[in-house]
Structure 1
Amino acid sequence: MAAPPPWWPIPWKSSDLTKWFASRLHGGVAFTKDQSIRKRMRFGHTIEDSQKKYPEITDEILDNLQKWANDRGLPNIPKEQLALFTHSCYFDIEATRRCMNVYYSIRATTPELFNNRDSSLEHLQHSLRILEFAILPKPDQNGNWIFIHRLVDPRPSQYVFNDSLKLLFMSYDANLYTNGCSEGYILIVDMAKARFGHLIKLSINNLRKSLEYVQEGMPMRLKGIYVVNAIWFVDKIIALMRPFMKQELFEMIHIYSGDISDLYSHISPECLPKDYGGELDCIANLHKAHCMKLDQLRNYFREEEALFRNYSPNNVRAATKQIIPDATKNLKD
């Protein structure tokens, strides 16, 4: 074989070739043999933190899950992430495997929700100006972390449904990054500034995918969804969602159209912001702090995306096909 021309962009020495490929797989940064994605991707907590809180997260379970992932061509997953998966499934191995498969499948095949999760991008900055996201600094009386999501700009023309979902899932990930395995999570959706025009901005396909992700792939224990300041067409939104919702999720939804104090029977005022008659800081300030956190986690989001960047639909189908024989075997046994 003739030698390539001198301007050929690929190095042909085997010692250089590995570095060349690595530099393109990891965002232009070359890594040595022991500098894997797993070492790059650091969480704001450690696996020891998770195991101390939940001794059920054993090394045996983590090794089992990593082997299962490797067999299906999934990347080398950090132990902290594996712990989140098994904790969200109450330490059931088979349920955890299904959760992992949905998690990586949907993230790999829904780029409009899970790619380019950089909060400095102008279109996401725009959505952060018309929406507010707050992670309350204090969990409720049961140890559940509370998310608040609301519109601050009532104009439907400014609302981008996919970006609102992307930022919501980024917010979930930001909390998982910091707090790791936690008792559970509650979402408060404030509809005070929602208008009927927002309803027609919804994408049915991505609504379906996001609900599948929340119910089957999100590595956290969702305990409740509280809709406050509900307006007249909330039933139409529920009707759109209902075909894609399991009964378990449907029963988590609580709707309040009257006085906000009705919420106090579920969440104590000491765990709510001033906007809702609570003792915590106002949502606007908490949103500003949250935006700063999203900005600080830009590298983390980029590295996390690299874990499933090359996960193709063909691999998704192969993994799904493998799950079915595994499940059948267990039934026979």
Structure 2
Amino acid sequence: MFKVTLEDEFKKNPELKAEDIQDVQAWIKSQPHLPPVPDLVVVLFLQACRWDLDLTKKTIDLYYTCRTEYTEFFSDRDPLSEEILETARAQQVVYLPERDPEGNQIIITRTSDPDTKKYNFAALFKYITMSTEAFQLDNGTVPGMVMVCDVGNFRASHFWSIPFKQGKNNMRYSQEASSFRIVAVHHINIHPLIHKVLQFLKPFLKAEVQEMITLHSNLETLFQTVPKEIMPKDYGGEAPTMEELNEQNLQRIQKYRQYFLDEQKVVVDESKRLSKKAKQSEDPEEEKGWWLLKKLSFK
């Protein structure tokens, strides 16, 4: 399914060692609850975890565990479904054709339709993760991913509509189980609400994630990091428009439709897990605290 080969990955990544792939594969085989994992997927995790073997193993385990448990994100992943098509019309997710000077891939997300009724957080996260997987199938590893979040149309009603459990699961998966390396997160077209949102989220974000986040009051400061010419025409750049690039992204995930239909069946078998899995907290007081903090943050 991958358009790249192991040979391509060895050429791109001098740090990649065949013995590390073998080590991880031997460990996977020793964990009967885990499904088989292709070598190229192991490479994605090694690179995302900066070649740390122990962290790679922990992340792979959590990746498949989350994909088994978080059915709101990882089931019904048909790119031709009305849910995904509606989300793609209201929420744009684009991958720029050109990379930044360090070779990082730029991803831009934007709420194109501010109507809260069309905002489905679970479907949006599904669309984003499917987009990333399709990109990796085409390209394999890249030095890093740079997220540019255009929050100009993001409203308080969008934030209030995110269910507690979905928000919590998203935080855990994104920060601890991802197969790609995010190196920077830029928020553009910011307004006072965004400061409140980020202040609210701060306790839930790891320190290293907080350090990646930059808020831009104008595009000129963004262009100091992301060259203007590689940005879409919507932002004064030379790349195709956001609408065109979002359509290209949608077509890419549709190209891999069979992959997504098959991949959602690749899950862990908890009955075969050798060591007891740490149970994620389900304290009802935690959810009450989430909503109380929201109310206090958005007074």
TM range (shorter): 0.7 to 0.9
Match of 1:195 among 155, 168, 174: 155
2:141 corresponds to 1:181: yes
**SS of the residue 1:124 aligns to:** helix
Q: Which residue pairs with 2:237 in the alignment?
A: 278
Q: Which residue pairs with 1:207 in the alignment?
A: 167
Match of 1:318 among 262, 266, 275: 275
Distance 1:317 1:275, change over 3 A: farther
Distance 1:52 1:320, change over 3 A: farther
Are the aligned partners of 1:147 and 1:188 in contact in 2 as well (CA < 8 Å)? Answer: yes
Which structure carries more relative contact order (alpha carbon 8 Å, separation 6+)? 2
Identity of aligned residues (%): 28
Q: Which residue pairs with 1:102 in the alignment?
A: 62
Give me the whole-angstrom Cα distance separating, in 2, the residues matched to 1:122 and 1:204: 24
Displacement, 1:317? Answer: 8.0
Distance 1:190 1:314, change over 3 A: farther
Match of 1:88 among 48, 71, 88: 48
2:12 corresponds to 1:53: yes
Match of 2:179 among 219, 230, 236: 219
Amino acid at match of 1:123: E
Query: TM-score, with normalisation over the residues of structure 1?
Result: 0.79
Displacement, 1:88? Answer: 1.0
**SS of the residue 1:233 aligns to:** helix
Are the aligned partners of 1:101 and 1:320 in contact in 2 as well (CA < 8 Å)? Answer: no
Deviates more, 1:142-151 or 1:312-321: 312-321
**SS of the residue 1:146 aligns to:** strand
Deviates more, 1:217-226 or 1:295-304: 295-304
Give me the whole-angstrom Cα distance separating, in 2, the residues matched to 1:69 and 1:240: 38
Are the aligned partners of 1:212 and 1:244 in contact in 2 as well (CA < 8 Å)? Answer: no
- Deviation per CA, 1:297-329: give whole Å up to 9, x if none: 111222322322xx14555683647xxxxxxxx
Amino acid at match of 2:169: K
**SS of the residue 1:62 aligns to:** helix
Give me the whole-angstrom Cα distance separating, in 2, the residues matched to 1:139 and 1:165: 23
Give me the whole-angstrom Cα distance separating, in 1, the residues matched to 2:130 and 2:204: 22
- Deviation per CA, 1:68-117: give whole Å up to 9, x if none: 11111212211110110111111111111111111111111001111221
**SS of the residue 2:2 aligns to:** coil
2:197 corresponds to 1:237: yes
Give me the whole-angstrom Cα distance separating, in 2, the residues matched to 1:59 and 1:232: 49
**SS of the residue 1:194 aligns to:** coil
The residue correspondences of 1:1-333 to structure 2 (distance < 5 A) are 42-73=1-32, 74-256=34-216, 258-308=217-267, 311-314=268-271, 318=275, 320=277
Give me the whole-angstrom Cα distance separating, in 2, the residues matched to 1:47 and 1:291: 27
Are the aligned partners of 2:31 and 2:274 in contact in 1 as well (CA < 8 Å)? Answer: no
Give me the whole-angstrom Cα distance separating, in 2, the residues matched to 1:55 and 1:259: 38
- Deviation per CA, 1:25-83: give whole Å up to 9, x if none: xxxxxxxxxxxxxxxxx212111111121133222111111111111121221111011
Distance 1:183 1:125, change over 3 A: same
- Number of residue-to-residue matches in the alignment: 277
Max Rg structure: 1
Give me the whole-angstrom Cα distance separating, in 1, the residues matched to 2:110 and 2:161: 16
Are the aligned partners of 1:43 and 1:177 in contact in 2 as well (CA < 8 Å)? Answer: yes
Query: TM-score, with normalisation over the residues of structure 2?
Result: 0.88
Displacement, 1:147? Answer: 0.7
Are the aligned partners of 1:72 and 1:319 in contact in 2 as well (CA < 8 Å)? Answer: no
Displacement, 1:204? Answer: 2.4
Are the aligned partners of 1:101 and 1:319 in contact in 2 as well (CA < 8 Å)? Answer: no
Amino acid at match of 1:49: D
Distance 1:292 1:319, change over 3 A: farther
Question: Structure 2 unaligned runs (5+)?
Answer: 279-299
